[in-house]
Structure 1
Amino acid sequence: MVGLLALIPDVYGAMSVEGGIQTSSSGGSSVQGIFAADNNGATFLASSTGSGNGLEKNHLLDLGKYKIESSIALEDGSIDACSETTKTNEVGSETSVNLNAEGSTVYAALSGKRDSGAAGQMAGVLNGAVSSNLKLVVDDSILAYQNTNAEGDEGILGSVANSKANKMAIDGSFLGSGDFSTEQLSVAGSAAKVYGTVSFNGQEVINGDVLDGIASGELAVSSDGIYEDRNGDLGAFEASATNLRDSSANSIGYETAGWMWASPIHYKLSTSVIGSTKATSYAKEISKGANEWDRNTAKNVFRGTDTANKPGSGNVLELTAKTPVKGEYQGGTGDGNNNYMAFSRAVTGSTIAVTYTWYYTNVHVTGADGNSYNKAAESDVYFGANKAWRIATRESSATNSKFDVRTIATHEVGHSLGLADLYGSTDSDKIMYGYNNGQVKWSLRSGDKSGLWALYGN
Structure 2
Amino acid sequence: MKFLLALVALLMLIAAPACSISVTSSTAGSAGGATAHGTYSLANDASLVSDVTLGGGALSRQSASAGPGMIAEGVSSGSGSVSRTVAADGSLSYAASDDASGAAVSSGMQASLSGSAGIFSAVSSGAENEMTVAGGFLGEGGDMSVSLTSVAADQAMTTGEAFALGTQCLNGELTQGIAGQDAAVSVHALYVSDDKNIGEFGVVAQNAKGGATAKPAPSEPSYKLTGYRWSRNPQIVITVSSIDLPSSISAGDVKSQITSAEISWDTVAAEALFGNVAEASDGFNRDFGKYGTRDYKNVHMWTTDTRLSDSTIAMTITWYTRSKIVTGADGKLYSQAVESDCWYNDRLSWRIDQDEGNKASSFDIRTIALHELGHTLGLKDLYDSSNTDQIMYGYNDGTSRWTLGSGDIAGIQKLYGAP
Q: In the alignment, what sits opposite 2:60?
A: 94
Structure 1 residues 272-310: Cα deviation after superposition (integer angstroms, max 9, x where no partner)? 22289622212211111112111222311101xxxxxxx
Q: In the alignment, what sits opposite 2:412?
A: 452
Q: In the alignment, what sits opposite 2:132?
A: 169
Write out aligned runs for 1:243-322 (5 A).
243-247=207-211, 250=214, 252-254=217-219, 255-262=224-231, 263-274=234-245, 278-303=250-275, 315-320=276-281, 321-322=283-284
Indicate how the Cα distance of structure 1 residues 202 and 374 shifts in structure 2: closer, same or farther if over 3 A, else same: same
Q: Which amino acid aligns with 2:195?
A: N
Higher relative contact order (CA 8 A, sep 6+): 2
Q: CA deviation at 1:58?
A: 1.0
Q: CA deviation at 1:261?
A: 0.7
Write out aligned runs for 1:114-153 (5 A).
114-115=77-78, 117-126=80-89, 128-139=90-101, 140-153=103-116
Indicate how the Cα distance of structure 1 residues 257 and 166 shifts in structure 2: closer, same or farther if over 3 A, else same: same
Q: In the alignment, what sits opposite 1:356?
A: 317
Sequence identity (%)? 28
Q: CA deviation at 1:42?
A: 1.0
Q: Which amino acid aligns with 1:58?
A: S
Structure 1 residues 187-221: Cα deviation after superposition (integer angstroms, max 9, x where no partner)? 10110001100111111101011111111422100
Q: Which amino acid aligns with 1:392?
A: D
Rounded to whole Å, the distance in 2 between the matches of 1:447 and 1:198 is 31
Is the Cα–Cα contact under 8 Å of residues 122 and 157 in structure 1 kept in the other structure?
A: yes
Is the Cα–Cα contact under 8 Å of residues 402 and 439 in structure 1 kept in the other structure?
A: no
**Which of 378, 394, 398 is the equivalent residue of 1:434?**
394
Q: CA deviation at 1:384?
A: 1.0
Asked if residue 78 in structure 1 is aligned to residue 21 in structure 2, the reply is: no
**Which of 202, 208, 219 is the equivalent residue of 2:166?**
202
Rounded to whole Å, the distance in 1 between the matches of 2:177 and 2:213 is 20
Is the Cα–Cα contact under 8 Å of residues 196 and 361 in structure 2 kept in the other structure?
A: no
Q: Give the 3-state SS of the residue equivalent to 2:380 in structure 1.
A: coil
Q: Which amino acid aligns with 1:453?
A: Q
Asked if residue 220 in structure 1 is aligned to residue 184 in structure 2, the reply is: yes
Rounded to whole Å, the distance in 2 between the matches of 1:230 and 1:249 is 37
Rounded to whole Å, the distance in 1 between the matches of 2:407 and 2:344 is 25
TM-score (norm 1): 0.83
Q: Which amino acid aligns with 1:428?
A: T
Rounded to whole Å, the distance in 2 between the matches of 1:211 and 1:247 is 18
Rounded to whole Å, the distance in 2 between the matches of 1:402 and 1:169 is 36
Q: In the alignment, what sits opposite 1:54?
A: 18
Q: In the alignment, what sits opposite 2:285?
A: 323
Is the Cα–Cα contact under 8 Å of residues 302 and 343 in structure 2 kept in the other structure?
A: yes
Q: Give the 3-state SS of the residue equivalent to 1:422 in structure 2.
A: coil
Rounded to whole Å, the distance in 1 between the matches of 2:278 and 2:272 is 14
**Which of 109, 114, 120 is the equivalent residue of 2:72?**
109
Is the Cα–Cα contact under 8 Å of residues 431 and 444 in structure 1 kept in the other structure?
A: yes
Structure 1 residues 7-36: Cα deviation after superposition (integer angstroms, max 9, x where no partner)? xxxx99xxxx85xxxxxxxxxxxxxxxxxx
Structure 1 residues 384-418: Cα deviation after superposition (integer angstroms, max 9, x where no partner)? 1111011111110x553551100000000110011
Q: Which amino acid aligns with 1:92?
A: A
Which is greater in Rg?
1
Is the Cα–Cα contact under 8 Å of residues 42 and 86 in structure 1 kept in the other structure?
A: yes
Is the Cα–Cα contact under 8 Å of residues 188 and 200 in structure 2 kept in the other structure?
A: yes
Rounded to whole Å, the distance in 2 between the matches of 1:324 and 1:153 is 32
**Which of 343, 367, 373 is the equivalent residue of 1:413?**
373
Is the Cα–Cα contact under 8 Å of residues 287 and 317 in structure 1 kept in the other structure?
A: no
Is the Cα–Cα contact under 8 Å of residues 27 and 56 in structure 2 kept in the other structure?
A: no
Structure 1 residues 126-163: Cα deviation after superposition (integer angstroms, max 9, x where no partner)? 1x111110111102111121111111110000111001
Indicate how the Cα distance of structure 1 residues 249 and 94 shifts in structure 2: closer, same or farther if over 3 A, else same: closer
TM-score (norm 2): 0.90
Q: In the alignment, what sits opposite 1:307?
A: none
Is the Cα–Cα contact under 8 Å of residues 402 and 437 in structure 1 kept in the other structure?
A: no
Is the Cα–Cα contact under 8 Å of residues 255 and 277 in structure 2 kept in the other structure?
A: no
When the two chains are superposed, the root-mean-square deviation of aligned CA atoms in Å is 2.1
Q: Give the 3-state SS of the residue equivalent to 2:175 in structure 1.
A: helix
Indicate how the Cα distance of structure 1 residues 277 and 406 shifts in structure 2: closer, same or farther if over 3 A, else same: closer
Mean Cα displacement is larger for which, 404-413 or 362-371? 362-371
Rounded to whole Å, the distance in 2 between the matches of 1:349 and 1:384 is 8
Q: Give the 3-state SS of the residue equivalent to 1:63 in structure 2.
A: strand
Is the Cα–Cα contact under 8 Å of residues 97 and 110 in structure 1 kept in the other structure?
A: no
Q: Give the 3-state SS of the residue equivalent to 1:257 in structure 2.
A: coil
Equivalent residues, number = 400
Rounded to whole Å, the distance in 2 between the matches of 1:230 and 1:144 is 36
Q: Which amino acid aligns with 1:257?
A: T
Q: Which amino acid aligns with 2:207?
A: N
Rounded to whole Å, the distance in 1 between the matches of 2:62 and 2:213 is 34
Q: Give the 3-state SS of the residue equivalent to 2:73 in structure 1.
A: strand
Q: CA deviation at 1:44?
A: 0.4
